[in-house]
Every structure is written in C-alpha cells, then in structure tokens.
Structure 1
Amino acid sequence: MRKILTVGFDADDTLWQNEAFFRLTQAHFVDLLSDYATSGHLHDRLLAAERRNLGQYGFGIKGFVLSMIETAIEVTQGRVAATVIAEIMAAGREMLDHPIELLPHAQDAVVAAARDHQVLLITKGDLLDQERKLAQSGLGDLFHGVEIVSDKTPEAYTKIFARHGGVAERALMVGNSLKSDVIPVISVGGHGVHIPHGEPWALEYAEPPEASHPRYHALPDLGGLSALLGALHNGNTL
C-alpha cells in the first residue's frame, strides 16, 4: 500500500455545521407559502428548481435563495407578495451572517493530520461565502492549501492533487458526502473517508461503495481519523 501523503478535508457538514441551516430556512419558506401549496409539494418544487438551477447558480446559499424565489413565483402563479420575497431574502442574509459552528473533533483532526501529511481544504460553493466561513472557523492557518471549486468531479480532484505536487493514488479525502467527497476520489485511485452528518441533501445522495472496498472507509466522526491514518500508514485497515 502506497503511503498517504495528502489529506483533503471537505468543509460544510464535515468541519462545520451547514445543512441544518438550509433545512431551517426551508421550513420557514414552507410556512410563508402554506396558503398556496402543501409542504410536500413545496419541497418537491424547490428541489426541482435547485436541480434545474445548479448549472447556472452553482452550490451555496445564494443559489438556494434564488431557487426559493423562483419556486414562490411558480406556485403562486406570480401572485406572491413582495413582503414574502423580502422575507426569503432576509432569511438568506441571515444564513450568510450565521456564525460558524465547528463540528466535534474538527480542529484536532486537522491538526493531527497536518503533522505527517499535506492537508488541503477542498470545498465547493460560493467563493465569498466559503472564504468567510473558513476565516471565521479559525482553521485557515492549518491548511497547506485551499481549493474552492464549482463541483467535485474525478477530474477536479486529479487536477487539485497534481497542483499541490501529489497524485490521487497517494491522497485521502474526508467528507460527509458520498457523491462529492468519497466516490470521485476512489474512482481516480485515492482513498475516501465517509463521515456522515445529519440527513444529506437529496441532490448529494449516492449509494456507498462495497464495504469491503480497500480504499473506502467509514467513520462515525472525525475523532477516528488519526487512528485510521496511522493504520493505513502501517499497511493495515481498521
């Protein structure tokens, strides 16, 4: 087994809380439009809008807010009140202003990994928002490099690892999303570590690899990462 030289960390819902704020805002959105459609219908229409708009708006809060406004216009057939649009926009600003809440073991995991590995933050979403969250997290100085990308594809990972002087075969990526953080890295020869957190966003759902896959690892939280890295270094698995 080739020694792991690079460890990549996802940001949202891996190092700090994120999806929970989207769900709270979506619940408020449903309340605002409860006179026009049922909760289930609004969830379905909003998800369809988000899926439709990803190519234009990308991932993140701003695209989410625009999709909510679009959905509000659609389900009300253009009759949505300006005050409702204003509340949706205010909810988006509140999300952007929300203080960062680090998840358990986040700082310790990055510090420990950085002792013997190059550590990278690899995240997707809005550039300004991700930079804000990283600055507020207090973790910025721990990383040897930061990559904020529009999407996490196998090709993107290959380019990122090469840009930082490495190869995918000697890299490990840690994240809460099987679709974005684990499967693409495994597909190009690296290791993927899945650390689930809460209920995943529907557009990030993917079936996990076979549990016996030698480069797929699952941990309950970041507290077990250091032991996993040590085991891989010694040619073992946990």
Structure 2
Amino acid sequence: MEIDYSNIKVIGFDADDTLWVNETYFREAEAEFAKLLSKYETPNKIDQELFKMEIDNLGLYGYGVKAFTLSMVESALELSNYQVSANVIESILSIGKDMLNKPVELLDGVEEVLENLSQKYRLILATKGDLLDQERKLEKSGLTKYFHHIEVLSDKKEPNYSKLLNHLDISPSEFLMVGNSLKSDVLPLVNIKANAIHVPFHTTWAHEEVSEEEKNGKSYKTINSLKKLLTILK
C-alpha cells in the first residue's frame, strides 16, 4: 500500500546514526573496554555484562556517553570482583572523554536533504541522550539553522511523542519522523497514527532491536539513503 505524505507539515529527524555517526564509536569503545578487562573475563562475557549493566542503569542514568561510561566503571568493578586498578578506571574515563570529543561526521546527503526540505516543511530535531552532549554535537554539525525546534527526549515512546506533538500543536497525521531505529523512531509513531520513515544504519545497539512480530502489520517506509526523502516528499 502506498503511503500518502501530502498532509505532512512537520518532519522530525533523529540525530545519532540518522544525521551523523554515533553507534560506531560505542562499538569501538566496547572493544577498548574489553581489552582493559581481558585479564578477568572473555570479550564476549565482558560485552554481555556491560550491556546488562547499561540496561539496568537506563532508568537512573538515561542514554548517552556519560551513562555508558558510568556503566563501564560499574562493570569493571563487578567483573574484577573489585580488584580493578585505579589506572584501569582512569583509562575507562578516558574512553568516555574521547567519545565526547569525537568529531561530528555527517552521513551522506544530510545537509542537502535538510536544506531542501526546510524550504517546504517545518523541521525539528527529536533525539534522546545527554542534553549537553547532544547540544555540543548539533553545534559542531553546523545544522542548527535548519531546525525550527530542538527536542532532547528522556525516551522515545508513545507518550513522549504525543507530548511533543501537543507542544508543536499538530495532529499525528501532520507529522513525519525520520530515523534509524525501528524501536525509537518508527514504531512508536505508527502506534499513535503518525508517519515514520526508517533509514537503517549499519550498526544497531542491541537495545534498539525489534522482533519480526513487533514489525508485523505496521505501516512505514524503509529507505537506504536519506537522499531518497527528496523523491518521496516532492
């Protein structure tokens, strides 16, 4: 079934791994972390325990590099039975700081797409994570001028999006969300009768993965490049 986007007035864009590279840096950091803890456990076990720690801490720390760094520190303590050295803890903190200082690498076609669509639609940035870090990345990206509104959400679930649409004073049918995560950027929107377009990134955090059952019967479009928005939203 062809999806009609003629009623769209506002387009929301996810930030990490939709506009710029992000998850790749987390995978690199996890590999560094596993090396630091290699005397205590296997890389696979270290990855598993770190992921469990991140999920356990989500309600307290939220998302982003700082939360990830705290989870690495906690995992190091537990995996080492509290024998890990101060030098290793310092190295873990350095991993986190290096992540926060990464350059912002825009994905292919991002500025071209935003420049074109901003002439016809109201664009907003709707992302989750640490406020300070996301503001820093947006400033470094040079994309601020294209967005009418910036929203850093504590999470991306149906109530979060409904509250956002109420704030924007638009109906769900007038809103389109574009992002790389089915769990965060697509399915919640479809569930509240808004529109969504999925632009997959080559790496996905395990927490963002969804089952075939969750996707079944949901109406959304998947494209392999952000540039294809320009042909869909003529």
| TM-score band, normalised by shorter chain | over 0.9
Equivalent-residue separation in structure 2 for 1:80 and 1:132 (angstroms): 32
Identity %: 41
Could you state the TM-score of these two structures normalised by the residue count of structure 2? Answer: 0.94
Give the secondary-structure state (helix, strand or coil) at the position aligned to 2:119.
helix
Superimposed CA distance per residue, residues 72-127 of structure 1 (whole angstroms, 9 cap, x where no aligned partner): 00010000010000000011001101110000011111112212111110000000
- Structure 2, gaps ≥5 residues long: none
Equivalent-residue separation in structure 1 for 2:109 and 2:45 (angstroms): 38
Which aligned segments of 4 or more residues in structure 1 are displaced greater than 2 angstroms?
A: 207-210
Is contact 1:158-1:167 (8 Å) kept? no
Which residue number corresponds to residue 176 of structure 1? 180
Which residue number corresponds to residue 226 of structure 1? 230
Give the secondary-structure state (helix, strand or coil) at the position aligned to 1:128.
helix
Equivalent-residue separation in structure 1 for 2:99 and 2:69 (angstroms): 10
Which residue number corresponds to residue 100 of structure 1? 104
Equivalent-residue separation in structure 2 for 1:223 and 1:207 (angstroms): 27
Which residue number corresponds to residue 60 of structure 1? 64
TM-fit CA distance, 1:165: 2.2
One of 36, 42, 58 as aligned partner of 1:32 = 36
> 1:1-238 alignment to 2 at 5 Å?
1=4, 3-207=7-211, 209-210=215-216, 213=218, 215-230=219-234
Is contact 1:9-1:173 (8 Å) kept? yes
Is contact 2:7-2:173 (8 Å) kept? no
Could you state the TM-score of these two structures normalised by the residue count of structure 1? Answer: 0.93
RMSD: 1.2
Equivalent-residue separation in structure 2 for 1:115 and 1:190 (angstroms): 22
Is contact 1:169-1:188 (8 Å) kept? no
Q: Aligned partner of 1:66: which letter? A: L
